[in-house]
Amino acid sequence: MSNVIVVPTDGSNSSINALQYAIDLAKKTDGEIILLNVQPNFASPNVKKFFNKKDVEEYTQMLAAEALEKVKGVVEEAGVPNQVKVRVGLPKIEICQEAREANAGLIVMGYRGLGAVAGVVLGSVSYGVLHESPCPVTIVR
């Protein structure tokens, strides 16, 4: 099994908790972490009417940088080998595709609770990744 761990992150507390878990695991297994941020695809026909491709790409990169700002320092401070990647598209699809391409042994991600049943219901991205992943998935609260 590969010692590459894909950690999708949006900068939320849940994703930071997942990263901490992945760091601990990577240290124990001499693993490598891929920090992955997935941005939505803004290239719809309606958006193209008002914004050029360059502006959309710059905006996407700005959003990714904001999401990754908190977590990049955490993984670098831990001294774990890592890569930072940004993908554009549907998160559950892009997370699973990154895991396939990296031949990852594990995806570690945060969950997103919904209202009063936060402890019972997984977020749609977490749920989708669980069903489509090419490798084991650990959901961290």
Look up the domain containing 101 and give its range: 4-140
Question: Could you give the count of Cα atoms lying within 13 Å of 112 in the half-sphere of its Cβ?
Answer: 13
For the record, the structure tokens of 76 come out as 């670098």
User: What pLDDT shows up at residue 47?
Assistant: 72
DSSP class of 3: -
Q: What pTM does this model have?
A: 0.89
Q: Is residue 118 over pLDDT 60?
A: no
Q: How many domains does the chain have?
A: 1
User: What pLDDT shows up at residue 120?
Assistant: 46
pLDDT digit string, tens, across residues 74-84 = 999 999 999 99
Query: Which residue type is seen at 121?
Result: V
Residue 74: CATH number of its domain:
3.40.50.620
pLDDT digit string, tens, across residues 35-71 = 999 998 887 777 767 788 898 899 999 999 999 998 9
Contacting residues for 42 by C-beta, under 8 A, at least 6 apart: 51, 56, 59, 60
Query: Which residue type is seen at 13?
Result: N
